[in-house]
Structure 1
Amino acid sequence: MLVVLLGVLTVLMLLAAALSYRAGLQEAGEMFDARLVQSSRVLLSLVDEPLSDLSAFPGDPIVLRGWHGQADGVGEALAFKDGHAYENKLAFQIWAPGGRLLLRSDSAPTTPMAALSPGYADVEIDGAQWRTFTLRSPQGRWFQSAERSDIRQELAEDIAVGTLLPLLFALPVMALVIWLTVAWATRSLRRVSNDIGERDPDRMTPVDDTKLPEEVHGLVRAVNELLQRLDLALARERRFIADAAHELRTPISAVKVHADNARMAMGDHDRETSQRLLAQGVERVERLVSQLLSLSRTERGVGRDAFRKLSLDAIVRSEADELKAMATSKHQALNVLLDHADVFGDEFSLGLLVRNLIENALRYTPRDGVVVVSTEQAGDRCVLTVEDSGPGIPAELQDRVFDRFYRVLGSGVDGSGLGLSIVQETLQAHGGQISLGTSDCLAGLKVVVSLPVGAP
């Protein structure tokens, strides 16, 4: 668009300048032609009738007859074989030292056109404004020439109009060319905007970036990347809703059954049993809903503006204190070993990560078991380790436990299968890593999490 506009405007400006230059030359030529005629007449008079003879001759002054008539037009239309139309707007006089008029043009009066003193003057002659110039020769003669002011105005106006008209005529042409050029250059943008505007909300295919100006390739790439992220987000939301609906169906059905049993129980023992099972079912639903909400938040990603430098020790200590009651109820030993480790991330998400790892260890460790949580600073990484004396996870199943809602069969522990999924989503947002293994000292599961100290 820039190349086309500059090229067309350059051609138009050159054309307008050429027309203006031609008009100026024409107007100036007209004036010079008239002056040339006057010069010829003066030269003729000086050659044929010397001024010395005129001074001695007491008769009337010599009058040089100029061209008189009506002429319209420009250029050659004002020039004739015997004169020029502008002659009657030019005048001259020659005066003897004694004040006698020796020679004049027929356009000049018989009285001095201005005071007989050297220099320029603006005077009024026969109701018209004239500009005069007076010159005195060494012999004492006065030479006066005059030019009507309206011819000056006329010439100035003709030159100005001749300069402006090509530009004024060029303006609408330039506007049309610019409009057509912009419309031509932006047709691909309109096609892209129409493509995006008419899209179905479920259509997330990339926008076609072929035949587009290079200047908008970055914009189209950004739109395509946004569509890709939206497609992933919508797919994640659809998968989350489907999984949540599937997982909530069973515990809610169980709660409904226990509620009906409690309402229809015939004895106190049956009613107490149904109420206890109902309370456990409600607790399970509550925990599942809480973990679903946590998973939804971690899947949507954590805003990087919320990241800051945190004390991993403080997070571990806070979460361990809240879970001590759970460990006490199972007569478990929850040991915490801290090593002044710092981490860069979101406090809430990292709290969920630590809580899920410790809670999973407590849930799958049998009564009177041991859970050890430790932190360690290792260069530009900090390491969180959670070990327990539970049954562990077979090596062939360690990759699958990160799938949502997956639970190891035969563990005998109720769970939602979301804990490690939340941990993995949080680590992806923080640039962390996780590995599963066997604890050397407790013989149970060993989970090692590595997180960056600085911004990932």
Structure 2
Amino acid sequence: MHRLKISKTNQKLETRLRIALHAILLAFLVLATISAAIVAYFGSSELQDETLLSVALLVNTNQIGLQTNRSLYRHHDYDDGVHVWKISGDRGGAFWINKSISKGYHTINARDEFWRVYITADPESENRFAIVQKLNVKTNIALRSAMNTAVPLLGLFLLMPILISLIMRHSFSPLNKLGRKVGNSESLKLDMANREDIPVEVLPFVSSIESLLEKNAEYNHRQQRFIADAAHELRTPITALSLEVENLRKAKSPAVKEEREKLLLASISRLQRLVNQLLDLARAQSAEITNQAPVSLNDLLKTQIADIYALAESKDIEFIVENNDDVHVLDINNQLQHLVRNSLSNAIKFSPESSQIMISLLQLNNNALYSVTDSGPGVANEDLDRLHEPFYRPVEQSTDSGAGLGLAISHEIAQQLGGHLVFENLTTGGFRFSYTQSLCQNDSDRNHCSQ
């Protein structure tokens, strides 16, 4: 059994999701921490002023016992705490605060630090007090707020691998089950009648895989049928060659020998023609593009008529060109010449002697329309849709020496060139071969041509 080789660059979808979610969570953690620090920093200014005002109200209502003259009141530690200083001229008070400072909020630079100060006065004793706090307390508040935000997110970040693994394992269990089912299947078909367990997002992918497998099975069936038909078609001329060689070996008179040599050469010619048609069909079905260029369909038609004119003349058949517009289309691997030649040779083969073959080459909007109409018997209407199949010959043509590959080759060429091929019986009698293909987009520059 062929196993898929996984390189070092391949990653599980679970791993990719885990990395993506971790990156998102990490970015969220960083942004949330920074945002919390910024909000706390700017919000702490208002909080600090409210704290100073609250302490001032307590001082004015004598709800704080002032014990010393140096630091009358200190709330919390020295660095972050609120201090109450009496404003006086002696060195025991807040000597670094100007006695004439007005009541209210101030920011003062003293002792190599910035302080936030609120000045208040006792209405009874008219003593003035300074409620102070270091200004950098806002930074400490911001750092604490950032830490309080970051710690829970960091814990979640550390738990994410376990959570993601559990979620991914549960979510992808239907896909793993489907993968095991496909891997254990011996046929190119998915029997997925029950799809309730498959996620909705994956259903289009499953449908595409089913469609691809169906196309692959159909292609394999066509290939097997083609090989069987080709083997059958090759066996007949090879058998005939063997008989002709044996008959030639047994020939006794020069006249008989000459006659049997002609039959042998005819058999070799038929076999060579069949092999060439098989090669043409293989080239038409090939996706490899070795040559791509715009061509004049008018010039191509003239060349093919000249090459096949002797065959038409042998049956006294006349070519009549009704319309002959100068149109340019894209040609890939020089395939158009085979399509045109097949249409002409097919018309000659099934046209009665001393008849006419009508040829038309028209430009319709942005398309070139090429058609060949013969005076032959046509085919049954139910056979029209099968004429493009390799080796298919209608009942009316069962005695024909051809292999039934000409129209199949033309059909493959039309598909490769992005054209459209139509076969139809005329109500007045006869058979029409019609081919349509987009023109070159820019008639003034033949180097730019598209399908």
Partner AA of 2:319 in structure 1? N
Measure how far apart 1:323 and its partner are: 1.1
How far apart, CA to CA, are the structure 2 residues paired with 1:318 and 1:300? 25
| 2:85 matches 1:93 | yes
Range 285-294 or range 378-387, more displaced: 378-387
- Relative to the length of structure 1, the TM-score reads 0.62
Aligned twin of 1:250: 236
Say which one has the larger Rg: 1
Aligned twin of 2:311: 326
Aligned twin of 2:274: 288
Measure how far apart 1:241 and its partner are: 0.7
- Residue of structure 1 aligned with 2:321, choices 337, 342, 345: 337
Aligned twin of 2:104: none
- Residue of structure 1 aligned with 2:261, choices 244, 269, 275: 275
Conserved? CA contact 1:313–1:339, under 8 Å: no
C-alpha deviations, 1:341-368, integer Å up to 9, x for none?
Answer: 56977675554343224323444567x7
Range 319-328 or range 181-190, more displaced: 181-190
| 2:181 matches 1:203 | no
| 2:153 matches 1:162 | no
How far apart, CA to CA, are the structure 2 residues paired with 1:423 and 1:177? 60
C-alpha deviations, 1:156-195, integer Å up to 9, x for none?
Answer: 5433322322222233345654554454444444455555
Distance 1:394 1:217, change over 3 A: closer
Distance 1:408 1:283, change over 3 A: farther
Measure how far apart 1:325 and its partner are: 3.2
How far apart, CA to CA, are the structure 2 residues paired with 1:290 and 1:38? 109
Aligned twin of 2:8: none
How far apart, CA to CA, are the structure 2 residues paired with 1:382 and 1:349? 17
C-alpha deviations, 1:268-291, integer Å up to 9, x for none?
Answer: 445444433332222111111222
Conserved? CA contact 2:52–2:118, under 8 Å: no
| 2:435 matches 1:447 | no
Measure how far apart 1:434 and its partner are: 1.8
For structure 2, the 5+ residue unaligned runs are 1-16, 102-106, 440-450
Aligned twin of 2:109: 121
Distance 1:161 1:122, change over 3 A: farther
Q: Residues 32-431 of structure 1 correspond to what in structure 2 (within 5 A)? A: 40=58, 43-44=61-62, 85-86=76-77, 89-97=81-89, 99=90, 101=92, 112=94, 114=96, 116=98, 118=101, 120-123=108-111, 131=115, 133=117, 143-147=129-133, 155-173=141-159, 176-192=162-178, 200=186, 203-205=188-190, 210-262=196-248, 268-296=254-282, 313-328=298-313, 330=314, 332-341=316-325, 350-363=336-349, 369-375=354-360, 377=362, 382=369, 384-388=371-375, 392=377, 402=387, 404-406=391-393, 414-423=401-410, 430-431=419-420
Q: Residues 10-21 of structure 1 correspond to what in structure 2 (within 5 A)? A: none
C-alpha deviations, 1:281-309, integer Å up to 9, x for none?
Answer: 22111111222333455567999x9798x
Distance 1:272 1:29, change over 3 A: same
Partner AA of 2:62 in structure 1? L
- Relative to the length of structure 2, the TM-score reads 0.62
RMSD: 5.5
How far apart, CA to CA, are the structure 2 residues paired with 1:306 and 1:352? 15
How many pairs does the alignment contain?
A: 388
Percent identity between the two aligned chains:
21
Measure how far apart 1:33 and its partner are: 8.4
How far apart, CA to CA, are the structure 2 residues paired with 1:205 and 1:47? 87
Conserved? CA contact 1:121–1:131, under 8 Å: yes
Conserved? CA contact 1:343–1:451, under 8 Å: no
How far apart, CA to CA, are the structure 2 residues paired with 1:152 and 1:395? 96
